[in-house]
Amino acid sequence: MTWMGHGDLGCACGSTHVSRRGFLCTGAAAVAAAPVVVASPAANAQTQPTPAPAPGRPILIKNGCVLSLDPAMGDFERADVLVSGGKIAAVGPNLTAPDAEVIDASRAIVMPGFIDTHRHMWEGILRNIIPDSSLGDYFKIVQRQLGPHYRPEDVYAANLVSALGAMEAGVTTILDWSHIQNSPEHTDAAIKALADSGIRAVFAYGNPANGLADFRDDPRQKYPEDIRRLRKQYFSSDDQLLTLALASLSNPPDRVADAWSVARDVGAPITIHIVGTAMSGLVQKLGEKGLLKPDTTYIHCCTMTDTEFKMIADSGGTFSIAGYVEMIMGHGTPPVQQVLDLGLRPSLSIDVETTVPGDLFTQMRTILALQHNNIWMRSQAGEKNLPKMLTARDVIEFATVEGARANHLDRKVGTLTPGKDADLILLRTDRFGVTPMNSATGAIVTSMNPANVDTVLIAGKVMKRNGQMVGVDYDKIAKLVDASRDYTMSNAKYERVKL
């Protein structure tokens, strides 16, 4: 997208507010009127840091196809978004701000940034090493073989590159499900990387689930009590980009209950994996103890009973589904329909970049296809009165609105609502893989990928513009990441497959 100074940008499309149901944004006139420019390949585009715009200056995003995802606001075929003081100041047609820096969004969809509710970011230096492996392989290779060899600086490198990769793909908020707490220094390094990256993140403090000896007998280990230090040292305020949660143990029930008690004592929400037969009945046991509350997000849940699903629903808990990894690694069928049947809506998450793409476009497509296939199969079996099929807009809301809710940040982000923090993205529509754009929601889910993410703002700060990360020295970070990967794999005696 073009960054400009003052003045009227002009647009062949009129500014038209439309309903959710009727929303369609083609931008055809704008595309037809624009000259064809063939740019030369920028082979070294990422090697030079992209400069940031003037700090503190308002930003006016003009003539975009705006998906606010706020029912009260509606969506706009052509409108503007004004960002001031890190907040969304206004959304609507023909906005003016004489002192603002202007982004011409006439060839873009403007929408809230994507929100990931569960990612093990310490595995950023291990991306795609086991693309076709099972959950058992993951435990053996990643957690038991490689995890114990991480130094704090390796956690830093991994978290940093994972955060940068997420933002590059349009993810503005992420829950770091951190279970690499080999020592308190590892924990501190993970938090520092998140802070240095500039991403909005929930740091979910976990135990060292990486094959070390029983951490209760290791004097370096402080789980779960070290969360008290973290609250005081890093998370004394909730009015910041980084917030705190507890990444919970999954067994045994008594120790889970003890950890939850500590989390609630410091006001930290809880996130927990529910996967496999080892956790069979755990939710029911916790529910019978009166421990299920709205502060908890349940991940995967592929093998839970109907009773447990209802107990979570009745408690006000939320769900995080990582459909791609659940199917490829053997967790079980993602429980999309079970959640929907309760009148609830799930959030989406990546889980492990060792095996899964780090973008939410893939997750949205996966969930949409999965749920449709489930309904089609039931229909072909003769079942009547079937549930409704999900729409493209539904899964976009899972990746934004529901993500904000599960991360306990819906008061701040998830929709383009005036007063909320300005976490938003611009998705390019002037690409041959998208043109002609006959439906905004359809284009996002069906045709787009991270290459369409042109601009990213977090709390009004520009993190990516014109397709490049801002203020990031790619070569420097790549060297840091490569060195940590090489050190970890060498010490773990792990030989990666390069081809």
Closest CA to 182 of 153, 214, 146, 207: 207
Q: Write down which residue in 346, 378, 406 finishes a domain.
A: 406
Query: Does residue 150 lie in a domain region?
Result: yes
For residue 436, say if its preceding peptide bond is cis, omega within 30 degrees of 0. yes
Name the average pLDDT for the chain: 89
In this predicted structure, what is the pLDDT of residue 252? 87
493 lies in some domain: no
CATH number for position 122? 3.20.20.140
Strands 171-178 and 17-18: unpaired
* Coil/strand/helix, residue 273: strand
| Residue 280's pLDDT band (cuts 50, 70, 90) | confident
Does residue 241 share a domain with residue 121? yes
Distance, CA of 289 to CA of 287 (rounded, Å): 5
In a domain, 193, yes or no: yes
139 plus 103 within the same structural domain: no
Pair (272, 196) in one structural domain: yes
Domain-embedded: residue 484: no
Q: Looking at the structure, tell me whether residues 320 and 401 fall in a common domain.
A: yes
SS3 call for 465: strand
Lowest mean pLDDT among 10-14, 69-73, 177-181: 10-14
Same domain assignment for residues 81 and 125: no
Look up the CATH number of the domain holding residue 22: 2.30.40.10
Q: Rounded distance, CA 479 to CA 483, Å?
A: 6
Q: What are the angstrom distances between the C-alpha of 195 and each of 43, 203, 442?
A: 29, 10, 34
Q: Full-prediction pTM beyond 0.75?
A: yes
Q: How many domains does the chain have?
A: 2
Longest dimension (CA), the chain: 69
> Do 51 and 156 sit in the same domain of this protein?
no
The domain of 450 spans: 2-112+420-475
224 belongs to a structural domain: yes
Please check whether residue 348 is in contact with residue 367, taking contact to mean a CB–CB distance below 8 angstroms: yes
Q: Is residue 491 part of a domain?
A: no
pLDDT value of residue 24: 53
Indicate if 98 and 128 belong to the same structural domain: no
Specify the higher pLDDT residue, 53 or 20: 53
65's CB contacts (< 8 A; 6+ apart) are 25, 27, 76, 77, 78, 105, 108, 109, 110, 429, 437, 440
Q: Pick the last residue of a domain from 378, 406, 434.
A: 406
Q: Is residue 488 part of a domain?
A: no
The reply to whether 74 and 142 lie within a common domain is no
Same domain flag for 103 and 118: no
Give the span between the Cα atoms of 464 and 50, in whole angstroms.
8
- DSSP state, residue 221: -
- Last residue of one domain, picked from the residues 363, 382, 406: 406
Q: Residue 276: what pLDDT?
A: 79
More confident: 15 or 233: 233
Same-domain check for residues 12 and 153: no
The C-alpha atoms of residue 202 and residue 171 are separated, in whole angstroms, by: 13
- Do 220 and 353 have their domain in common? yes
Residue 481 is assigned to a structural domain of this protein:
no
CA distance 414 to 207: 29
Do residues 107 and 125 both lie within one domain? no
Q: Which amino acid is at 386?
A: L
At 378-424, the pLDDT tens digits run 999 999 999 999 999 999 999 999 999 999 999 999 999 999 999 99
